[in-house]
Structure 1
């Protein structure tokens, strides 16, 4: 008489196998995790802590300052002026780059001959480093020999100094350069959202008698809001942290200085690293708060 063989039902595992922990996935991501922590998290914590200390390379050691660094920043006229300039950069830059990005994305939404070439050319301003863009536009704004001065001379106008004298004109021209840089990325982000909209929705709207503007207002804009929100957030980050364009085009002049430029001046020219860390912390918090506000106001989950 044979002994019956007991078999487990399919899908049932032993207790030892079910409790076995697989370390391999965690082992694979450990080097990258440690690299990110060492490169980003540790310096960030270091900067936050030292923003509450007096850190002067010429007057060691560090001393507790509390909120003294922050109070000193708001008493500095140059910092307050740069904050006003940065607010202008953010408001104008985010608005213009979003409007122009939506316009470019809508024009590129439907395939046409040469669309890939247009997208490749359009992305060049975003791909160029900010310093290179500043040098290129410096030739355009150059008094006497620049492109704008040459065009103005054709109409009998005097193409004088455009940057550095009038504050509003200076920050406006600098922001034109930055908008020229960040708009291509905004357009591509919004275009990616538009590509997810089914063509059947536009066909149904056309059958219902909706014109192009009605379809844009009732289909395109609502369904593209996730892409628009992402585009606006990247524009907020770029404009709040602008450095290259104002520094290359206008130097250290206060007429166009940004808050990020002030962190450089305070830290490496004045050697007041504590105040520089404090200003960096304020910029980070402002970037985070404004980005969250933009997402809360603009982003809507789309369900087709």
Structure 2
């Protein structure tokens, strides 16, 4: 409509949008609830892991001897003395053998067990429960159990070998031959860590669609070819995690060689040398240095395993 002055008066239509709501003058602050919930765990990790780690790094550059105070800065002197210590060098060789044997055996056996348990069958839950038992037992308890098996006088292993006429009489199995001692000790550790490897690989196998195996079977692929072309490639994330936990366990093995073989050099590991240097020789500075080196080597080996074994799988 038009006014007498000739100006048009705006007319509101039904389609006209209402004016936008006024902006809130006060913005909502950040949500602090997630940080509050995570704070106790973060504080626990800092106190339990990061603080001791920093303390170890700092003390590894000092001469810390409770019988010869005060502490003195020696730079890389503790690390240099480790490379000239024959016991440490021998333990390093033993530990590398532990890693090679342990990682290889636990990975192969873990994959075999996981493939066996991949498809449901009657009693599968019971088998998995029994499988976990060796992993759930403490290393010292396992060492004591296997001491009876390796006993030179009335051990089960000597009895079986004699019954099968593989040996004429009972023998001392541990502490005499270096390779045999390491093999038998690592057999005990493999018995402990393989169940976890199997469960980790089994978790990866459960994510593989059954349609892939059905398609491979229709195409005429044999079970072995399906294993090589489907199972192994798609299970690589689980295999990588299993290998990493095996590397960590074997590089830091202590309970089994200490219980089964004592302080004998034929089976001593690097962690055992850390104990001997720190608490028997009271040379804590060198013990800190060796602990730091073991940590760095463990981290390096784990990164290499993840780098060359792990592959991201997209189905």
Instruction: Settle same-fold status: TM greater than 0.5.
Output: yes
Aligned-partner SS, 1:17: coil
Q: Give the aligned length.
A: 296
Aligned with 1:248 (options 254, 259, 275)? 259
Q: Within 2, Cα distance between the matches of 1:45 and 1:7?
A: 60
Query: Which of 58, 68, 92 in structure 2 is aligned with 1:59?
Result: 68
The offset of 1:14, in angstroms, is 2.5
Q: Distance in 1 between matches of 2:130 and 2:23?
A: 58
Query: Following the alignment from structure 2 to structure 1, what is the Cα–Cα distance between the partners of residues 277 and 39?
Result: 37
Shift of 1:158: 1.5
Structure exhibiting the larger radius of gyration computed from Cα positions: 2
Instruction: Quote the residue 1:216 is aligned against.
Output: 227
> Matches of 1:69 and 1:193 in 2, distance apart?
43
State the alpha-carbon separation in 1 of the partners of residues 279 and 19 from structure 2.
74
- Partner of residue 140 from structure 1, selected from 128, 149, 153: 149
- Residue 123 of structure 1 aligns to a residue whose secondary structure is helix
Structure 2 CA distance for partners of 1:15 and 1:257, relative to 1, 3 Å: farther
Structure 2 gaps, min length 5: 1-17
Matching residue of 2:137: 128
Higher helix share: 1
Q: Secondary structure at the match of 2:307?
A: helix
State the TM-score, normalizing by the size of structure 2.
0.91
After superposition, the C-alpha distances for 1:35-86 in whole angstroms (9 at most, x for unaligned) are 2211111111001100000000111111011111011011000000000000
Cα RMSD after superposing both structures? 1.3
- Whether contact under 8 Å (1:190, 1:224) holds in the other structure is yes
The secondary structure found in structure 2 opposite 1:145 is: coil
Q: Please, which of 222, 233, 258 is the counterpart of residue 244 of structure 2?
A: 233
**1:33 pairs with 39, 42, 55, which one?**
42
1:103 aligns with 2:112: yes
Q: Return the offset for 1:291.
A: 0.2
Q: Residue 272 of structure 2: which of 243, 261, 283 is its match?
A: 261
State the 1:247 CA deviation: 0.1
* Residue 8 (structure 1) shift: 4.5
TM-score, normalising length: structure 1: 0.95
Q: Which moved more, 1:23-32 or 1:239-248?
A: 23-32
Change (3 A) 1:23 1:235: same
Distance 1:8 1:200 in 2: 54
C-alpha separation in 2, matches of 1:219 and 1:166:
42
Task: Say if 2:131 is the partner of 1:151.
Answer: no
CA-to-aligned-CA distance 1:103-139 (integer Å, 9 cap, x gap): 0000110000001111111111000000000000000
Shift of 1:302: 0.3
Q: Given the superposition, is the C-alpha separation of residues 131 and 7 from structure 1 closer, same or farther in structure 2, using an over 3 Å criterion?
A: farther
| Residues 1:137 and 1:15: Cα distance change in structure 2 (over 3 Å) | farther
Q: Matches of 1:120 and 1:209 in 2, distance apart?
A: 35
Does the CA-based 8 Å contact 1:144-1:150 persist in structure 2? no
- Mapped to 2, the partners of 1:100 and 1:15 lie a distance apart of 65
Q: Once the 2 structures are TM-superposed, how far is the Cα of residue 157 of structure 1 from its aligned partner?
A: 2.0
Of 184, 187, 201, the residue aligned with 2:198 is 187
With over 3 angstroms needed to count, the CA separation of the structure-2 counterparts of 1:30 and 1:207, relative to structure 1, is same
How far, CA to CA, are the matches of 1:224 and 1:167 in structure 2?
36
Alignment partner, residue 3 of structure 1: none
Alignment partner of 1:117 out of 110, 117, 126 = 126
Unaligned 5+ runs, structure 1: 1-5
Report the equivalent of 2:26: 16
Query: Helix, strand or coil for the counterpart of 1:163?
Result: coil
Whole-Å separation in 2 of the counterparts to 1:8 and 1:33: 44
